[in-house]
Amino acid sequence: MFFRSGRMRFPPGSRVEGPDGGREFDRVELDLARDRHARAAMEAYADSCAAELPWLSEALRLSRFVAAERLTQCSSTVLRVFVTAQSRAAVQPDYAHAAWEHVRSHLTALLAGSPSTASGAGNPGSNDSKFDYHE
């Protein structure tokens, strides 16, 4: 989306003006049919409200826009949290870099929807499936 300073239109090119100069939104409408970021936001909202409003979370997950063939619409969030966890673990004396990188490679493949790498069988000719990282 392209925005000019002091003026916002939703969606771009429409005649509906957005709020001026830093005022908060009272309401935001998401275009779930065309905007992948809106679908990610809906999935995140479903995750966030699951404990307090399980019925709403379930209804959102069953939406034709949120339910998808992908594992998640928020793969960037999953990877950001993983990187944060790995960086915190790295300062611990029992940190195993190879194990974390092994998990990262499979997580990245799973999020990308690559079944051959994400299946857990390891790559042909590799020892990926032979390592036991639980010493």
Q: Does residue 43 sit within a domain?
A: yes
Inform me whether the pLDDT recorded for 133 exceeds 60: no
Q: Which amino acid is at 116?
A: S
Average pLDDT value over all residues in the chain: 74
In this structure, the answer to whether residues 83 and 52 fall within a common structural domain is no
Lowest average pLDDT, out of 3-17, 31-45, 74-88, goes to 3-17
Q: Does residue 59 sit within a domain?
A: yes
Query: pTM score, two decimals?
Result: 0.57
Interatomic CA distance for residues 100 and 89, integer angstroms = 9
Q: Does residue 15 sit within a domain?
A: no
Inform me whether the pLDDT recorded for 119 exceeds 70: no
